[in-house]
Chains A and B, each alone.
Chain A
Amino acid sequence: MAELLIQLQNVYKRFGTQQVLKGIYLDIYKGEITTIIGGSGVGKSVLLKHIIGLVEPDAGKILLNGKPIRSMNKKERGRLKSKFSYMFQGTALFDSMTVFENIALPLKEKSKKSSDEINSRVKERMQQLELVGSEEKYPSQLSGGMKKRVALARALVINPEIVLFDEPTTGLDPVKKNAVHNMILDYQRKFGFTAVVVSHEIPDIFYISQRIAMLHDGKIMVEGKPGEIQQSSDPVLQSFIHGLQNHRENVTDMASLPQVETRFKEAMIHLQRHKIAFSLIVLTLNNLDELNEKLGYVTGQVVLKKFMAKIRERISIVDTCSLYSLNKIMLVLSGTDKIQAKEFCMRLSKEIKGNELIDVQSYTGFCFSISAGFAEAKEGSPFGAVLVKAESSRNIFLEFRVC
């Protein structure tokens, strides 16, 4: 069980005549990514601002490591803030400062590091977030996606213990959204910080979060692990999740589990009625982290997207191919047994060339390292069981590289 880090107990907040928070109870665990979901204007950002102390609650307590933040003196609060980073919804970059100055500011003002150390740390973050070459630009000269990345670089430059992300992907295209989610997950793994994310991005956030809380009508309506949330029968939660999913289905390749489940059910009906067998193949991209690191997060996602387009060219119209996690592609192939699936994957490895997937200069030894897991669906087998089977390491029937 993870260690409890932040607790919100019975938090109330009113702005004028509007009661925004009506008794919030929320636990945030150390080293986890907790996502707060909810409709527009329900007070998600207000809740996040309470955690960092930008907004004081009218009633209730916010505890950090069991100690109420309100009872802390100025020095303790200062120490507390130095552990936090906050990525604002509107980026809140200093528009009269260059990108470099923006990222360097927290280090310059609050740390005792020499200017050489600050320069190298800032350059490292800029390199990781593909911002090299933009040092002297001003925020107004950057695109929305770049601004987000600068804000992320500024938030991560102090190596914080807790990072609060207020809608980090709003206004980005699907590729960049996936890139930002990858970044959050990657850095969270790398640095081990605790993250609280406010997001609308369903289903993407299910793949990066360890815990999800839904804010509705001023209260935390449901809280739990992503699987529990997706399985929840609560009608409000389900209509919220499905409403966003349907919208996203049109613009992104990312499919949610319930969505894939629907496709699976359709294939199952075909199997039962027409005895058309089908298989589920899960292609796991083993070296996405390496691609992200060497090519950058956005390019990493572009490569992945192009790879999926190449797969789609090779499957029939009744088959489906969708990204169902940050690095997993799921294929539902009708009339395919294990040998045919293997042949299909072999064909992929032979026909798709690495240089077709990448527009920019790739690095030496650039390859997609893929593990293919296979499961054949039997009549009446539940989706979950087939998926688990396809994902299990015992059923990896081929490991191949696309170079």
Chain B
Amino acid sequence: MNQETTKRYNPVAALGRSVIFPIQNMGSIAIFFFKGFLNIFTIPFRPEKIIQQVYFIGMKSIFVICLTGAFTGMVLGLQGYYTLSKFGSEGMLGAAVALSLIRELGPVLSAIMVIGRAGSAMAAEIGIMRISEQIDALDTMDINPIRFLVSPRLAASLICFPLLTAIFDSIGILGGYLTGSGLLGINSGVYFARVESSVAMEDLTGGFIKSLVFAVIVATICCFQGYYTHMRSEGFGAKGVSMSTTSAVVISSVLVLISDYILTSFLL
């Protein structure tokens, strides 16, 4: 007890711990990701598990992606028109909407929506499996839990994120057209011509690279938080699972935004 108290109030040790712990954690996350990624390719290959996860992460997210994509595009149409009309360049609306969506908003908002819908579920499901000893049971059967639980989710995220981003972008551009052309009177030919002329292949590639990176971040962080639920010092059992789910959502959302900035500065 005395030793613990000394440890807690030793400022040098506390400083050391606060530096070592995040580094250690980052290392663990990196190892966790590599194990999960490499196990996607180990035999026997089980495509049915990946398909199940594609259905859960991708297919079931389509509605929410369409909805957010449509409204994001529509609000971009409104705001873009208001701003561009100040410079007399309303005709550029198609380009403004398409570029903001493809380069930035599409990958980021899709990732955030999938975190809320599927990422939290991943953390909670794996967390419950951990506290009810189901992961230990896999271990005793000599079934690699990372291969069984994490790899299919990682593979499915890598497949779904770019596709969901593409859907988000397309619906968003149509949403922008709806407000720009339908409500505010921009010629539809001009809108789509600007979209076509302004979007280059690099923009699309950049957007997809971002979505792939976000897929890795979201799947790894959410699975990691669930997988190590039992190691949390601040809560056990159901409380531990709720904390893991919260951490999974918060950490992956923040990391998506941070990595978006870093990627943008490299891709520009």
Q: Does A35 contact B (CB under 8 A)?
A: no
Residues of B within 8 A of A82 (CB): 142
Q: Which of B129, B133, B134, B140 is A81 in contact with, Cβ under 8 Å?
A: B140
Q: Does B141 contact A (CB under 8 A)?
A: yes
The answer to whether B143 touches A85, judged by C-beta atoms less than 8 angstroms apart, is no
The answer to whether B140 touches A84, judged by C-beta atoms less than 8 angstroms apart, is yes
Nearest B residue to A79 by beta-carbon distance? B142
Q: Does B196 contact A (CB under 8 A)?
A: no
Q: How far is the CA of A78 from the CA of B132 in the complex (A)?
A: 23
The answer to whether B148 touches A109, judged by C-beta atoms less than 8 angstroms apart, is yes
- Which residues of A are interface residues toward B (Cβ below 8 A)? 52, 54, 78, 81-82, 84-86, 88, 90, 92-96, 105-106, 109-110, 158
Q: Which of B125, B134, B142 is A92 in contact with, Cβ under 8 Å?
A: B134
Ranked 3 nearest A-B pairs via Cβ: A81-B142, A92-B137, A86-B140
What is the CB-to-nearest-CB distance from A95 to chain B, in angstroms, rounded to a whole number? 7
Residues of B within 8 A of A54 (CB): 136, 139-140
What is the CB-to-nearest-CB distance from B85 to chain A, in angstroms, rounded to a whole number? 54
Q: What count of chain B residues pass the 8 Å CB interface test?
A: 14
Residues of A within 8 A of B140 (CB): 52, 54, 81, 84-86
The answer to whether B141 touches A92, judged by C-beta atoms less than 8 angstroms apart, is no
Q: Which of B125, B134, B136, B141 is A109 in contact with, Cβ under 8 Å?
A: B141
Chain B residues numbered 127-165 whose CB sits less than 8 Å from any CB in chain A: 128-129, 132-134, 136-137, 139-143, 148
- Which residues of B are interface residues toward A (Cβ below 8 A)? 125, 128-129, 132-134, 136-137, 139-143, 148
Nearest B residue to A83 by beta-carbon distance? B142
Residues of B within 8 A of A95 (CB): 128, 132, 134
What is the CB-to-nearest-CB distance from B141 to chain A, in angstroms, rounded to a whole number? 5
The answer to whether B137 touches A88, judged by C-beta atoms less than 8 angstroms apart, is yes
Q: How far is the CA of A372 from the CA of B141 in the complex (A)?
A: 45
The answer to whether B143 touches A92, judged by C-beta atoms less than 8 angstroms apart, is no
The answer to whether B141 touches A110, judged by C-beta atoms less than 8 angstroms apart, is yes
The answer to whether A90 touches B133, judged by C-beta atoms less than 8 angstroms apart, is yes
- 18 A-B pairs with CB atoms under 8 Å apart are A52-B140, A54-B139, A81-B139, A81-B142, A82-B142, A85-B140, A85-B141, A92-B132, A92-B133, A92-B134, A92-B137, A93-B134, A95-B128, A95-B132, A105-B143, A106-B141, A109-B143, A158-B141
Q: List the count of A-B residue pairs having beta carbons below 8 Å apart.
A: 45
What is the CB-to-nearest-CB distance from B201 to chain A, in angstroms, rounded to a whole number? 42
Nearest A residue to B137 by beta-carbon distance? A92
Q: How far is the CA of A81 from the CA of B141 in the complex (A)?
A: 7
Residues of B within 8 A of A110 (CB): 141-143
The answer to whether A78 touches B142, judged by C-beta atoms less than 8 angstroms apart, is yes
Q: How far is the CA of A184 from the CA of B133 in the complex (A)?
A: 22
Q: How far is the CA of A84 from the CA of B137 in the complex (A)?
A: 11
Residues of A within 8 A of B134 (CB): 92-95
The answer to whether A106 touches B136, judged by C-beta atoms less than 8 angstroms apart, is no
Residues of B within 8 A of A92 (CB): 132-134, 136-137
Residues of A within 8 A of B137 (CB): 86, 88, 92-94
Give the most central of A54, A88, A92, A96: most B CB within 10 Å: A92
Q: How far is the CA of A86 from the CA of B134 in the complex (A)?
A: 12
Q: How far is the CA of A158 from the CA of B142 in the complex (A)?
A: 12
List 4 other contacts, CB 8 Å, given A54-B139, A93-B137, A109-B148: A54-B136, A84-B140, A86-B137, A105-B143
What is the CB-to-nearest-CB distance from B222 to chain A, in angstroms, rounded to a whole number? 17
Nearest B residue to A89 by beta-carbon distance? B133
Residues of B within 8 A of A109 (CB): 141, 143, 148
What is the CB-to-nearest-CB distance from B248 to chain A, in angstroms, rounded to a whole number? 19
What is the CB-to-nearest-CB distance from A229 to chain B, in angstroms, rounded to a whole number? 28
The answer to whether B133 touches A106, judged by C-beta atoms less than 8 angstroms apart, is no
